């Protein structure tokens, strides 16, 4: 239905003395959503979910990448293969037919009727100065989908469709509850009869008691109209209830994507494992070891090299992208902290981009590194400590989405 390929969105950082700094909100994401499915997009705050959602329907212009809309599944596959084989002719030929990004003017306006978004907060996404009638009618008018009496009549049908009384048309947003406002937002999103809806945390601003009602409404609409949905949420329970497939984002990257059941019950990416492990299980007696990640998500201006998750990954190994600075920090912790009594006189320095330990008993240090590398994963990247005290580190790789099984792709070198 829709395919995004190598999508990037870099926001310029303003108000700093540095020029040419960018927040890499979405970085090289390739994702496909099939007709009629609900794709759950999960990940913690700041992982780029909303930005990705906005890019998909061109509420934001991507920095790079391509979006193919309305393309049949086999052509999306063909396009993906053409990218891999650098078949420029094929890439151009398929883009020409389906590219959302190259559409302009009336053609774009027409396409806009086919996609829409529901935002998290119905208090800020609906203009309080307008009556509900005008709120719901607006997308029909601005896209030229319907006008006048036809548009007005459709508002009443839509109100009914989202479970609101027709006389709500004459009310103002402040007269409605949060749940009712979200129904209005959904009616507005449905106004031009779209095929694709992006739902950005559609229930997280609502009272728990009305969240389920809104989810049920969305489910019912999807069933009745076969609408394709991307459901953005940090709430695994919501995804578990609604989605057929799940995509996991971390720091602007897609980490894992696959069928809901298998991703939630049998996560493959170490980040997904940690994310899922933090969700309490309702069944009594079921135990799951909670994986606590150390550290914070990285800054998106200078994200970690290699795999963006490597600094926090409990399973990271030598190839994951460790830098001299990361290794120096962890070695310092051992030399100046935990094993201070052994390495009292030792000292770490970087010379010409190489890391050295001065005044050290090399054998002792090698032993400590060996012992600690199970838990301090950066140490796995130390190839050797040479006689002159140089800490040699291994090269690294950058993961791409690897096919782990028929319905699963994982961006982790463990599956390369
Ligand atoms: N218009 C913008 N200008 C600059 N930076 C932005 C802009 N929009 C988003 N960002 C940055 O991009 C990153 C990703 O933000 P995004 O809102 O997509 O994440 P998210 O996963 O949806 O998080 P949340 O659940 O908190 O909304 C964040 O670091 C955010 O600060």
> ipTM value of the model?
0.96
Q: Which of 391, 309, 320 is nearest to 351 (CA)?
A: 391
| Atom nearest to 200 CA in ligand 1 | 22
Residue 279 lies in a domain: no
CA angle (324, 26, 201) in 5-degree steps: 125
Residue 61 lies in a domain: yes
Count of H-run helices and E-run strands, the chain: 14, 15
Stated as kind and residue range, the H or E segment containing 45 is none
In this structure, the residue with its CA closest to atom 13 of ligand 1 is 25
C-alpha span between 165 and 163 (Å, rounded): 7
Domain total in the chain:
2
Helix (H, G, I), strand (E, B) or coil at 17: coil
100 lies in the same domain as 235: yes
Residue 263 lies in a domain: no
Domain boundary residue, one of 191, 215, 243: 243
CA of 233 to the centre of ligand 1 (A): 13
CA of 111 to the centre of ligand 1 (A): 26
Query: Is the beta carbon of 49 within 6 A of some atom in ligand 1?
Result: yes
Q: What is the pLDDT of residue 16?
A: 65
Residue 123 lies in a domain: yes
- CATH number, domain containing residue 20: 3.40.50.300
Mutation choice for ligand 1 from 8, 22, 50, 62, CB with most ligand atoms inside 8 A: 50
Q: Other C-beta atoms within 10 Å of 234: how many?
A: 16
Residue identified by tokens 């076969």 is: 226
Residue 268 lies in a domain: no
Domain boundary residue, one of 182, 212, 243: 243
Query: Is the beta carbon of 286 within 6 A of some atom in ligand 1?
Result: no
231 lies in the same domain as 353: no
Q: Which of 171, 188, 174, 190 is nearest to 132 (CA)?
A: 171
Total length of the chain: 416
34 lies in the same domain as 161: yes
In this structure, the residue with its CA closest to atom 11 of ligand 1 is 25
332 lies in the same domain as 227: no
Query: Is the beta carbon of 248 within 6 A of some atom in ligand 1?
Result: no
Q: What is the pLDDT of residue 283?
A: 67
| Atom nearest to 53 CA in ligand 1 | 18
C-alpha span between 143 and 151 (Å, rounded): 12
Grouped pLDDT means (10 residues each) for the chain, 416 residues: 96 78 96 96 95 97 97 94 96 96 92 94 87 96 94 97 96 94 96 97 91 95 95 94 97 97 96 91 69 89 96 96 96 92 91 92 93 94 94 96 95 96
Query: Is the beta carbon of 113 within 6 A of some atom in ligand 1?
Result: no
Residue 408 lies in a domain: no
Residue 224 lies in a domain: yes
Domain boundary residue, one of 222, 243, 264: 243
141 lies in the same domain as 238: yes
225 lies in the same domain as 354: no
In this structure, the residue with its CA closest to atom 6 of ligand 1 is 11
CA of 303 to the centre of ligand 1 (A): 15
60 lies in the same domain as 190: yes
Domain that includes residue 336, residue range: 324-393
Dihedral over Cα of 207, 212, 213, 218: its sign: positive
Residue 314 lies in a domain: no
| Atom nearest to 51 CA in ligand 1 | 18
In this structure, the residue with its CA closest to atom 3 of ligand 1 is 11
| Atom nearest to 13 CA in ligand 1 | 4
57 lies in the same domain as 160: yes
| Atom nearest to 52 CA in ligand 1 | 18
236 lies in the same domain as 329: no
Query: Is the beta carbon of 47 within 6 A of some atom in ligand 1?
Result: yes
Q: Which of 79, 69, 91 is nearest to 1 (CA)?
A: 69
Find out whether 15 and 212 touch, Cβ atoms under 8 Å.
no
In this structure, the residue with its CA closest to atom 4 of ligand 1 is 11
Query: Is the beta carbon of 251 within 6 A of some atom in ligand 1?
Result: no
| Atom nearest to 120 CA in ligand 1 | 27
Query: Is the beta carbon of 25 within 6 A of some atom in ligand 1?
Result: yes
232 lies in the same domain as 368: no
CA of 46 to the centre of ligand 1 (A): 5
373 lies in the same domain as 238: no
239 lies in the same domain as 371: no
């Amino acid at each position: 239905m829709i395919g995004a390929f190598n999508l990037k969105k870099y926001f310029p950082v303003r108000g700093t003395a540095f020029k040419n700094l960018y927040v890499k909100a979405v970085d090289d994401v390739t994702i496909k959503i099939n007709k009629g499915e609900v794709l759950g997009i999960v990940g913690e705050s700041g992982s780029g979910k909303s930005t990705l959602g906005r890019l998909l329907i061109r509420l934001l212009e991507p920095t790079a990448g391509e979006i193919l809309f309305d393309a049949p599944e086999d052509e999306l596959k063909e396009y993906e293969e053409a990218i891999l084989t650098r078949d420029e002719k094929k890439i151009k030929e398929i883009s020409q037919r389906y590219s959302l990004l190259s559409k302009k003017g009336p053609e774009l306006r027409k396409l806009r009727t086919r996609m829409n978004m529901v935002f998290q907060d119905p208090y800020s996404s609906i203009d309080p100065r307008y009556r509900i009638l005008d709120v719901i009618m607006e997308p029909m008018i601005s896209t030229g989908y319907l006008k006048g009496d036809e548009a007005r009549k459709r508002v009443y049908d839509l109100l009914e469709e989202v479970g609101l009384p027709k006389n709500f048309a004459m009310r103002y947003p402040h007269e409605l509850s949060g749940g009712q406002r979200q129904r209005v937002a959904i009616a507005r999103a449905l106004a031009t009869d779209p095929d694709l809806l992006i739902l950005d945390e559609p229930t997280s601003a609502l009272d728990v008691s009305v969240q389920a009602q809104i989810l049920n409404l969305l489910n019912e609409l999807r069933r009745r109209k076969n609408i394709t949905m991307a459901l953005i949420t940090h709430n695994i329970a919501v995804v578990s209830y609604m989605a057929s497939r799940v995509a996991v984002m971390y720091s602007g990257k897609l980490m894992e994507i696959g069928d809901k059941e298998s991703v939630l019950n049998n996560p493959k990416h170490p980040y997904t494992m940690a994310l899922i492990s933090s969700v309490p299980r309702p069944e009594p007696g079921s135990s799951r070891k909670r994986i606590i990640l150390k550290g914070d998500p990285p800054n998106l201006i200078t994200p970690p090299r290699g795999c963006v998750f490597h600094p926090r990954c409990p399973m990271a190994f030598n190839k994951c992208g460790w830098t001299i600075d990361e290794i120096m920090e962890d070695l310092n912790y051992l030399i100046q902290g935990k094993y201070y009594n052994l390495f009292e006189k030792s000292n770490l320095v970087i010379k010409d981009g190489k890391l050295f330990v001065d005044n050290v008993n090399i054998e002792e240090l090698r032993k400590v590194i060996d012992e600690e590398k199970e838990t301090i994963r950066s140490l796995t990247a130390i190839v050797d400590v040479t006689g002159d005290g140089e800490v040699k580190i291994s090269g690294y790789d950058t993961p791409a989405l690897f096919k782990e099984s028929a319905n699963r792709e994982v961006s982790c070198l463990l599956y390369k």
